[in-house]
Structure 1
Amino acid sequence: MMQQMYPQVFHDFQYELNKDMHIAAAHYIPSDAAGKCKQVHGHTYFVNVTVAGDDLDEAGFLVNFKDLKVLLHDKFDHTILNDHLDVFRPDNPDFFPTTEVVARTMWETVENHLSALPNKPTCLQVFVRETPTSYVVYRPKKKRKKDQ
């Protein structure tokens, strides 16, 4: 059983759902500045996805836990992240599979799925722990009134 504490997101939604998963994957960072991480190496990533909303679907779910697992675990587990050229690219640091970019990519994957659901839940954050001492939390920036 996984037991993990992760940063809370304060919100006004009625429901909050959290899905934890482990993803075993390898990667490398294609930059000399990455030091040892330029070499292929692996991690057992701990991932937590936080979804919130006000309305449940026809089955009484905010979102089905299984769908979140399929979107992330089934796609990335036991793979080399760099091979996922649909989301990671070797020629642009904004798309290298760093923990920061992995977290953002997972958020984008989940949010794209959620936005197509009739009950319109939203992904508030994705937490990705790469090692016992290092993790990243990705939260989308809220749009400012002047940006809308």
Structure 2
Amino acid sequence: MSIIRITKQFNFETGHALYGYDGKCKNVHGHSYKLSVTVIGSPITDTNNVKLGMVIDFSDLKKIVKEEIVNQFDHATVFNKNTPHIELAKELKQRGHNVILADYQPTSENMVIDFAEKISARLPNHIKLYALRLQETETSFAEWYASDN
């Protein structure tokens, strides 16, 4: 039985600010993120299964990632919950904006760790998260690999 990796890509827009950072990213700004989600498993061999030949139906993977990541983070602003930006966050929330107060500094590195935990928890037992790639700009991205963790 072959082991296969499949990947689905997602796009979303998110703003953030890096509390305590010594560069421009301390200011509120946004990115057009590209998230690549790779899972690994064996294609279904049961000829009575409507998903014969699939590791996971791309639409099932899409549902998980949309619910856990894209719908939450798209057009949201993410702040570290311990930031002095908390007053700005409260003001934005009062004005109807989508604000996420994270338990971490919202760098691509920390976001990809958070995303890995959320996606892994929702995958069927016979499928494992293999890798995530979160691209922040055309030339900058963070990667998470299960084999490293």
Normalization by structure 1: what TM-score?
Answer: 0.71
Structure 1 40/15 Cα, relative in aligned 2: closer, same or farther at 3 Å?
same
Matches of 1:13 and 1:98, distance apart in 2: 36
Superposition RMSD in Å: 2.3
Choose between structure 1 and 2: higher strand proportion.
2
Partner amino acid, structure 1, of 2:144 = Y
Residue of 58, 66, 71 corresponding to 1:69: 66
Partner amino acid, structure 2, of 1:80 = T
Alignment size in residue pairs: 121
Is 1:128 the counterpart of 2:134? The answer is yes
Point out the more displaced range, 21-30 or 132-141.
Answer: 132-141
Is 1:79 the counterpart of 2:95? The answer is no
Q: State the match for 2:116 in structure 1.
A: 107
Structure 1 13/126 Cα, relative in aligned 2: closer, same or farther at 3 Å?
farther
Quote how far apart the aligned CAs of 1:141 are. 4.5
Q: Percent identity?
A: 26
Structure 1 139/38 Cα, relative in aligned 2: closer, same or farther at 3 Å?
same
Matches of 1:135 and 1:70, distance apart in 2: 22
1:18-60 CA-partner distances (Å, limit 9, x unpaired): 1101110000111133x11111100000110001112549652
Residue of 25, 31, 34 corresponding to 1:43: 31
Quote how far apart the aligned CAs of 1:120 are. 2.4
Matches of 1:21 and 1:101, distance apart in 2: 18
Structure 1 13/125 Cα, relative in aligned 2: closer, same or farther at 3 Å?
farther
Structure 1 41/107 Cα, relative in aligned 2: closer, same or farther at 3 Å?
same
Normalization by structure 2: what TM-score?
Answer: 0.71
Matches of 2:117 and 2:6, distance apart in 1: 17
4+ residue runs of structure 1 moved beyond 6 angstroms? none
Is 1:52 the counterpart of 2:20? The answer is no
Q: Could you say what secondary structure the match of 1:30 adopts?
A: coil
Point out the more displaced range, 57-66 or 121-130.
Answer: 57-66
Task: Name the larger-Rg structure.
Answer: 2
